Amino acid sequence: MRIDVHAHLWSEVYLDLLERFGNTTTAVHRGLGAGPEGLDARFALMDRAGIDLQVLSTAPASPHFDNEAHAVEAAQRVNDEYAETVRRHPDRFRAFVSLPLPHTDAALVELGRGLDDLGMLGAAITTSVLGRPVDAPEFLPVYAELDRRGAALFVHPAGVGAASPLIDSTMTWSAGAPIEDTVAITRLILAGIPSRFPNMKIIGGHLGGALPMLLTRMDRQYTWEAPNTPERPSLAARRLWFDTVAHAHTPALRAAADSFGADRLVLGTDFPYQTGEAFQEAVTYVRQAGLTDKDVTAVLDGTAADVLGLSGPIDPA
């Protein structure tokens, strides 16, 4: 089964709610064909690419607000919208739970509702949450619950330039996003999250950012720079999975396959930010990267289903 683990869908109602609560970045998500009213064109794209199923996530348009009531209302709204979309199209969509972070207790309640009542596959989190890193202590109960359930955690850039003033609006998504991926996954590794919660299936975005180029460097330096790291970073990285969104750059895909193992890669398209020909290339470039036929088949049609527990027939939620 060909599953796209990195795809987005937002209604204008949800984006309007985020804006009303103070989110000033919703414009980047509008007018791209990512709403529930554009599904026929979306399904046609999926069919041309041979994609059976997309797993929807709201990040970076996440329901993250300091005001807990706002965060909860936004999370419930979008999770209900996703559940209805999946109910209408159970053969084309699944979803990750959007969490009302940074409010841990409320996030645990919504996580339980999303997994138990709405049939979702795991949760999505951004690479930082209102300035808090992904290894912040307040998020550990969420990870513990995902671990208890053997569910997935999808980590997506927040679009905040890794909180660096040097990453301005001219490079927020071109360079800033993969830097955020790199920093977030590195923090999870150095904090020992992958080994502490081995049943939680962490999926990093964009091939892990620069991580494929850094693993040996990290292995050689962590003992003096981060001596409390519980295991070699290169070993910890192989406890995770990474989506293949790399804008059809085959050298990046080969580096990730060589660094993590092709068995740790899962298909992603980043719809609607890659659409049309770019959407097709998100699939075809996997075949052009010099991987073995067996590895290509696993990346495109096998590993994601195993990770998400969808290897059998699709069971409508």
Confidence tier at 317 by pLDDT (50, 70, 90): very low
pTM above 0.85, yes or no: yes
Place of tokens 């800033």: 176
Ramachandran class of 131: left when φ > 0, alpha when ψ lies in -120 to 50, beta otherwise: left
pLDDT at 315 over 90: no
Place of tokens 């085959």: 250
Angle between helix 250-260 and 277-287 (nearest 10): 50
| C-beta separation of 155 from 101 below 8 A | no
Give me the residue spans of the domains in the chain: 3-308
Over range 56-72, report the average pLDDT.
97
Confidence tier at 316 by pLDDT (50, 70, 90): very low
| C-beta separation of 239 from 263 below 8 A | no
The whole-number pLDDT of residue 56 equals 98
* Chain-centroid distance, C-alpha 151: 13
Per-residue pLDDT tens for 108-155?
A: 999 999 999 999 999 999 999 999 999 999 999 999 999 999 999 999
Task: Provide Rg for the chain, Cα atoms.
Answer: 18
CA distance 104 to 279: 36
Per-residue pLDDT tens for 206-260?
A: 999 999 999 999 999 999 999 999 999 999 999 999 999 999 999 999 999 999 9
Domain 3-308 is classified in which CATH homologous superfamily? Metal-dependent hydrolases (3.20.20.140)
